[in-house]
């Protein structure tokens, strides 16, 4: 293995904030939605802080002249680092764009194995809410958080 090549790969990865440099494989999730509650701090085994965000996206459609909607809750994980430093300041109701990688893992709960899907975020954008000044468009209230 040529060391120079792997070094440049490594630095590219760090710049991209992602471990995905394989060309024939991609795993990318993009979400735009609202935070259902303040950012939660958690600790790894090494006592580094990681952040858990709970993000709501909503889909609406019209059927038989009536509007229906469905809210989806997503769990995003921000691993220790500069992004986590930023993410910890986010509060309930923030409008965000998040990019990350979809991952699943298993854990034990009451003797049963449960599987949970998470988004390992590598980019977070805080979206401005200019419409708030006009009050024309009601901002949906992210009340019912399942977690």
Partner 1 sequence: MYLNSVTLTGFLGADAERRTAKNETAYVILNVATKTSWKDRETGDWSSRTDWHRCIVFGRLADTAATLTKGTHVQIQGQLRNREYQKDDARQRTTEIRVTALSKLDRATRRGTQPDDAQADSPHVT
Query: Any contact of residue 37 with partner 1 (CB under 8 A)?
Result: no
Give the 3-state secondary structure of residue 41.
strand
Query: Any contact of residue 68 with partner 1 (CB under 8 A)?
Result: no
Query: Any contact of residue 116 with partner 1 (CB under 8 A)?
Result: yes
Residue 104 token pair: 């699943």
Among 42, 103, 126, 132, binds partner 1 (CB under 8 A): 103
Among 63, 64, 112, 134, binds partner 1 (CB under 8 A): 112
| Closest approach of partner 1 to the CB of residue 14, in Å | 11
| Residue 30 CB burial class (10 angstroms; 0-12, 13-18, ≥19) | exposed
Among 54, 74, 76, 121, binds partner 1 (CB under 8 A): 74
Query: Any contact of residue 27 with partner 1 (CB under 8 A)?
Result: yes
**What one-character-per-residue DSSP string does 46-80 give?**
T--EEEEEEEEEEEEEEETTEEEEEEEEEEEEE-S
- Smaller CB separation from partner 1, 37 or 88: 37
| Closest approach of partner 1 to the CB of residue 94, in Å | 13
**What one-character-per-residue DSSP string does 82-141 give?**
HHHHHHTT--TT-EEEEEEEEEEEEEEETTEEEEEEEEEEEEEEEPP-THHHH--SPPP-
| 12: DSSP letter | H
| Closest approach of partner 1 to the CB of residue 36, in Å | 13
Using CB under 8 A as the binding criterion, the count of chain residues that bind partner 1 stands at 34
Site of interaction with partner 1 (CB under 8 A):
6, 9-10, 13, 19-20, 22, 24-33, 57-59, 72-74, 95, 97, 101-104, 112, 114-117
């Amino acid at each position: 293995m040529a060391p120079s090549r792997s070094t440049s790969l490594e630095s590219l990865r760090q710049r991209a904030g992602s471990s995905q440099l394989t060309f024939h494989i991609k795993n990318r999730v993009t979400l735009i939605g609202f935070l259902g509650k303040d950012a939660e701090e958690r600790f790894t085994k090494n006592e580094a802080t990681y952040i858990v965000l709970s993000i709501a996206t909503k889909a609406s459609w019209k059927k038989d002249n009536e509007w229906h909607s469905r809210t989806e809750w997503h769990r995003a994980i921000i691993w220790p680092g500069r992004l986590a430093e930023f993410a910890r300041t986010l509060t309930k109701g923030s409008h965000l764009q998040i990019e990350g990688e979809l991952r699943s893992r298993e854990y034990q709960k009451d003797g049963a194995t449960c599987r949970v899907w998470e988004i390992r975020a590598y980019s977070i954008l805080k979206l401005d809410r200019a419409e708030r000044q006009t009050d024309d468009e009601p901002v949906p209230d992210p009340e019912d958080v399942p977690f």
